[in-house]
Structure 1
Amino acid sequence: MENEHVQQRLMKAAEAGDISLLYGCIQDYPKILDSIDEIPFVDTPLHIAASVGHAHFALEMMRLMPSFGKKLNPQGLTPLDLALQSREGLSPSDPELQNMEELSPEDRDLRNRITSTISRLIKFDKELIRVKGRESLTPLHYVAEKGDIDLLAEFLCAYPESMVDRTIRDETALHIAVKNSKLQAFEVLLGCLRRIRKHHDVLGWKDDEDNTLLHIAVSTSQTQACHLSILWFSL
């Protein structure tokens, strides 16, 4: 019972980004963080703090419990996944916000805080970019799917080798970008692929339906993606 009460206070601390309250919880129940870590699938304080953009709290949690960075919640999401989804939900391109000329000041501030938290987390531990969540999707796969060029470039700069990671459907970030018609993201990924000198290998990889990047581009009538695939493969 005491454990449950302290855990509730800890989650409130994560929501508020209150590091003092975090340590108050630890003082009251020193094993509180370990008890959370023992649960196979759980929303940790890091999940909560990352999703609402409390960078300092998130970094303190990573320092105390590095394992939380790779922990999946019941939906199969890591803390970084959850932060990315929260950020995407505050994008003007989101269906619920399409008719808005711009975000409210509060939402814009929240989005900026979440973006900063994401950047600081991957600077703290770049391995977070490659943590596989539901269906073996990584944070890099997610930003490729959304065509988020800024974060895509940041992730690739931090960990270029992450682009060879595959989903359970044998898709790389390149496959995902083409399947979602994200040409600019595809171009950014191709550039990184060339820099790490893996373009000849990866461009020929097939997904679980036996489709290469060129097959996907042709079948979806993406002329520019077809040209790029052929051009880069010939280099």
Structure 2
Amino acid sequence: MDKSLFEASLTGNVQALNQLLQKDELILDRVSLTRFSETPLHIAALRGHLDFVKVLLREKPTLAVSLDSVRRTPLHVASAGGHVEIVCELLQVMSAEGCGFRDQDGRTALYLAVKNEQLDIIKVLIQTRPDLGRELEENGETILHICISYNRFEAFKLLCQLWSEDELAMMTDCNGNTLLHLAAVHKQVQTVKYLLQKSSIRTNRNVVNGHGFTELDVLDHSPRDFQTLEIKTLLMEANFLRAKDAKLFQTLIESNSSQNVTNLDRKPKGLMSRVWNWYLNNNGNWLEKQRGILILATIVVATTSFYSGLHPPGGTFTNSSDGPLGNAVKTEGMGTQFDDFVIKNTIIMVFSLIILVVLLSGIPLRNKFCLWVLNLATVCIIFLVTVTYLTEIANMSPDTWVNPTTFVMCLAWMLLCLLFAFIHTVFFIIWVVKKLLKARIRTRNSDQIGV
């Protein structure tokens, strides 16, 4: 390149350029024949000399597509330098293909504008050629991956408008990293928050990269700092999981789905079947947890029945003139009623003590026989307490008269207790029969195998 032309390009001296053109009309034509890699347009675009660029483009428009030693066009240089007006002038004389020309490193003018976050130039470039922002880099990345790599958040937001939400969610680089993977790796909290606002990204969460890592897994392999903790909190609040947890969760979902389908194919069970299944699955966990409370309750019942036996209704003789000292008043002329009271009270006390011994012995309450005994003993106690109460109320009333409401309530309660005992007894017998049948079948099979 002529020295005078170089100096004019360097300073942007339009007057000197015009004088050189008047002296030698071919001076710009011979630029490509010199040993200099940069053309005057490269230098003027680099320095931001707009008027100088206009003259060069008017005199020789083909300079707009000339290449320097690293295969950069003047558009590359102007985009990297942030010279918006010069970029607009170059785009007027360049073809659409020229806008996407790549240098020796595979970088376009848009790439360099993003790298330096020249937002105005990015807008001009994508307005001129919208598909430029959707082109893939040589390594399979998009311009959005470049934004994250250089932490250019504003450029990232601007270029995201070229893609749909579904495309943003499924966009990956050559290593299978999504945009969220890269944002987490580079600890870009702003970018992570922006991406989590996209419903499609939240829906398609837990995507694994080429190494089988989700976003949380990537953070686990990164140095821990405040940004890492903040991003991890954001991801966990959005229900993101690690790869192993996501696989387990997916397995559970598939298992539940298949189970639901199987249940739909089955006929709905009747009431008796549901009750039977409940009885079989009732393993006494509740009784085990409440063992202490049950012990206290049986002690209270046993103590009360013991006290009632020593202090029967009507009291005892305290005066020898009335009868033998210490004897129950009801023994005089009411021996049968007193005997009935003593028998019922004794049964209540003995059954309470039986329950107490079972609970204190440490026998596992998951045993069906143990549950059956406890249920029958409890029902018997409740039944006899009710009968005793009703009998004593009748004995204390004139002509053994009992209020109808009281009688009906006590009778209904006693019938309910009998029904409860009957149901548990039937279920227990069925359970025993099934156990015996299974044992018999196993024995028969063993004999057949032995033969």
* TM-score normalised over the length of structure 1: 0.67
- Counterpart of 1:53 in structure 2 is 48
CA distance in 1, matches of 2:138, 2:11: 36
- Counterpart of 2:138 in structure 1 is 168
Q: Is this contact kept in 2: 1:214–1:229, CA < 8 A?
A: no
Q: How many residues align?
A: 199
Equivalences for residues 85-234 of structure 1 within 5 A: 85-87=80-82, 114-125=83-94, 127=96, 129-194=99-164, 204-222=170-188, 223-227=192-196, 231=200
- State the 1:47 CA deviation: 0.8
Q: Is this contact kept in 1: 2:38–2:68, CA < 8 A?
A: yes
Is 2:13 aligned against 1:44? no
- State the 1:144 CA deviation: 1.9
1:59 is paired with a residue whose SS is: helix
Query: CA-to-partner distance for each residue in 1:23-57, whole Å, 9 max, x for gaps?
Result: 43344444332322356982101011112222122
- State the 1:21 CA deviation: 3.1
Change (3 A) 1:25 1:63: same
- State the 1:209 CA deviation: 3.6
CA distance in 1, matches of 2:173, 2:65: 25
Q: Is this contact kept in 2: 1:144–1:174, CA < 8 A?
A: no
Segments of structure 2 that go 5 or more residues without pairing to the other structure are 204-451
- State the 1:188 CA deviation: 1.0
- Counterpart of 2:335 in structure 1 is none
- Of structures 1 and 2, the larger Rg is shown by 2
1:121 is paired with a residue whose SS is: helix
Q: Is this contact kept in 2: 1:50–1:117, CA < 8 A?
A: yes
Amino acid at match of 1:44: T
CA distance in 2, matches of 1:226, 1:125: 35
Query: CA-to-partner distance for each residue in 1:105-151, whole Å, 9 max, x for gaps?
Result: xxxxxxxxx44333443355474542322312112112222333333
CA distance in 2, matches of 1:169, 1:69: 27
Change (3 A) 1:28 1:62: same
CA distance in 2, matches of 1:126, 1:215: 36
CA distance in 2, matches of 1:208, 1:38: 41
CA distance in 2, matches of 1:229, 1:40: 53
CA distance in 2, matches of 1:230, 1:71: 45
CA distance in 2, matches of 1:37, 1:233: 54
CA distance in 1, matches of 2:14, 2:177: 49
CA distance in 1, matches of 2:35, 2:199: 44
Amino acid at match of 1:183: F
Change (3 A) 1:230 1:219: farther
CA distance in 2, matches of 1:37, 1:228: 52
Q: Is this contact kept in 1: 2:14–2:52, CA < 8 A?
A: yes
CA distance in 2, matches of 1:61, 1:140: 23
Q: Which moved more, 1:22-31 or 1:170-179?
A: 22-31
Amino acid at match of 1:131: F
Larger relative contact order, structure 1 or 2 (CA cutoff 8 Å, min sep 6): 1
Segments of structure 1 that go 5 or more residues without pairing to the other structure are 88-113
Is 2:13 aligned against 1:18? yes
Query: CA-to-partner distance for each residue in 1:137-173, whole Å, 9 max, x for gaps?
Result: 1121122223333332232223212112333323321
Change (3 A) 1:20 1:171: same
Q: Is this contact kept in 1: 2:134–2:162, CA < 8 A?
A: no
CA distance in 2, matches of 1:126, 1:233: 40
Aligned partner of 2:60 among 65, 90, 101? 65
CA distance in 2, matches of 1:130, 1:233: 33
Amino acid at match of 2:8: A
Q: Is this contact kept in 1: 2:136–2:142, CA < 8 A?
A: yes
CA distance in 2, matches of 1:159, 1:233: 31
